[in-house]
Chain A
Amino acid sequence: MDYKLLLDSVVMAGEVMLRSGAETWRVEDTMLRMLRMSQLKTAQVFAMTTGFTVTLDDPSMDSLTVVRRIESRSMNLERVDQINQISRNFCRGELTVEEMFREVKKIYREPGDTRAHLPGYMILTAGFTLMLGAAAQDAAVAAVAGILSGFGVWLCRRIGLHVFLVNAIGAFLIGVTAILCTRLLPGAYDLHSIIIGSIMPLVPGVAITNAVYDTLHGDYISGAARMLEAFVTAAAIGIGVGLSMALFQVI
């Protein structure tokens, strides 16, 4: 077995997973399982939310070590699933190292997802507003607010704004749209439900879930980091919505 090739593919797989928002323990677990296929004496992985280091060592050879720093992350669970499948097949012996390397590299080379997913935002915000027991006209306003904030978030990400600002701006847009629509359009609206439903794409559900999973698997540092991420995101949303409401109170 070509150990260098194995290590390279494992590092790429780990990088894709961490970038795509997989839990830290899953990244460690997957990389370790793949490295164990080498049957070498030492295989170690240490992953955190912001990077990882891998070592492969045996008395018969020099040790191989790789460190990777992950700078940006964006959720893309499809890629996590793809890497998961490749690793499963490889560990069951259905793929050789060379085949595995090629498949991982194909995913690694794929450009990140740059679509704005506006239809997703629309059904999401409308759906959650309905879920909260609001009426159809509330859901319609929420859909508009969702699309606008989704577009704003996409634009802000494109120009590379800080995550905190992106979330605050998204929430601000929701607040402004919802308040304007409910004030200017005829009919009775439930502003609370509209705003609560519309901020759902921004709320830190992913961070909460991953925080629980990382903590549960003994990755306390990553778990704490994700919890902090959830707090910061919540604060950003609060500031965004609060600002929009304060603005309309002044006017």
Chain B
Amino acid sequence: MIGIIVQLTGAFLGTLGFCVLLNIPRKLWAYSSLVGTAAWGVYLAAETYTDAVVTLNFLAALTAAILAQILARFFRAPVTLFLIPGIFPMVPGAGMYEIAYNAVQGDQELVNHYIMQTLQIAGAIAVGIFLADIVQRVIMPKSITKS
């Protein structure tokens, strides 16, 4: 339990750091960070049911995207202000590291494994964002025609 709280605090601090780096307006810092924390919370909760990284990342990214859409409507701010920090906990930095590490170690099989896994995770995140955006556009159509 303490481990989970520490991890969630870590997710909060990590996303908060991104808010600083990306120059997100100060009044939105707490909300953007909470998006990332909630996404990681979903990831950890889902981890007790499944080991499939693609599913886990998809669920977490979907959570982040839905929350970001709601917050963007509420604050009338671009959705990326909440979404970009929010999905960072899922971005496959670990995969990138494992690829480099195993390439240096000379383990070609693991390199291939991690390349595929990293691509799949990136795809899962993309699908999560896609879904939330499509649903949002069905519920609240507002785009203008471009021609």
The smallest beta-carbon distance between A96 and chain B, in angstroms, is: 21
Q: Which of B120-147 contact A (CB under 8 A)?
A: 122, 125-126, 129-130, 133-134, 143-144, 146-147
A199–B23 contact, CB under 8 A? Answer: no
Residues of chain A lying within 8 A (CB to CB) of residue B122: 208, 230
B96–A124 contact, CB under 8 A? Answer: no
A203–B129 contact, CB under 8 A? Answer: no
A124–B77 contact, CB under 8 A? Answer: no
Q: Which of A102-130 contact B (CB under 8 A)?
A: 113, 117, 119-130
A131–B80 contact, CB under 8 A? Answer: no
A94 to B104, alpha carbons, bound, how many Å? 60
Q: Chain B interface secondary structure, helix, strand, loop or mixed?
A: helix
A79 to B15, alpha carbons, bound, how many Å? 19
A181 to B25, alpha carbons, bound, how many Å? 35
A239–B100 contact, CB under 8 A? Answer: yes
Q: Identify which of A119, A197, A201, A210 contacts B80 (C-beta below 8 A).
A: A210
The smallest beta-carbon distance between B109 and chain A, in angstroms, is: 17
A195 to B98, alpha carbons, bound, how many Å? 10
A121–B21 contact, CB under 8 A? Answer: yes
Interface centre among B80, B87, B133 (most CB of A within 10 A): B80
- With A81-B81, A209-B129 already in contact, the answer to whether A123 and B23 are too (CB < 8 A) is no
B17–A122 contact, CB under 8 A? Answer: yes
B101–A245 contact, CB under 8 A? Answer: yes
A27 to B58, alpha carbons, bound, how many Å? 28
A135 to B122, alpha carbons, bound, how many Å? 27
B20 at the interface (CB under 8 A from A): yes
B67 at the interface (CB under 8 A from A): no
A127–B25 contact, CB under 8 A? Answer: no
Residues of chain B lying within 8 A (CB to CB) of residue A77: 22-25, 78, 80-81, 84
Residues of chain B lying within 8 A (CB to CB) of residue A29: 143-144
B38 at the interface (CB under 8 A from A): no
Q: Identify which of A84, A126, A129, A205 contacts B78 (C-beta below 8 A).
A: A84
Q: Across the interface, name the chain B residue whose C-beta is closest to A192.
A: B97
A88–B76 contact, CB under 8 A? Answer: yes
A78 to B91, alpha carbons, bound, how many Å? 22
Residues of chain B lying within 8 A (CB to CB) of residue A23: 80
A26–B100 contact, CB under 8 A? Answer: no
Q: Across the interface, name the chain A residue whose C-beta is closest to B20.
A: A120
Q: Identify which of B10, B20, B81, B89 contacts A129 (C-beta below 8 A).
A: B10
B23–A113 contact, CB under 8 A? Answer: yes
A133–B3 contact, CB under 8 A? Answer: yes
- With A26-B78, A28-B146, A212-B129 already in contact, the answer to whether A205 and B87 are too (CB < 8 A) is yes
The smallest beta-carbon distance between B127 and chain A, in angstroms, is: 9
Q: Which of A25-51 contact B (CB under 8 A)?
A: 26, 28-29, 32-33, 36, 44-45
Residues of chain A lying within 8 A (CB to CB) of residue B100: 237-239, 241-242, 245
Offer 5 A-B interface pairs, CB within 8 angstroms, sorted by A. Answer: A36-B144, A85-B76, A130-B6, A200-B88, A209-B87
Q: 15 new A-B pairs (CB below 8 Å) besides A81-B78, A199-B97?
A: A76-B23, A77-B78, A81-B81, A85-B76, A117-B21, A119-B20, A123-B20, A129-B10, A130-B9, A139-B10, A200-B88, A200-B91, A205-B18, A206-B84, A242-B104
A: which residues have CB within 8 A of B? 21-23, 26, 28-29, 32-33, 36, 44-45, 75-81, 84-85, 88, 113, 117, 119-133, 139, 192, 195-197, 199-201, 203-206, 208-213, 216, 230, 234, 237-239, 241-242, 245-246, 249
Shortest 6 CB-CB contacts between residues of A and residues of B? A124-B17, A130-B10, A127-B13, A120-B20, A127-B14, A131-B10
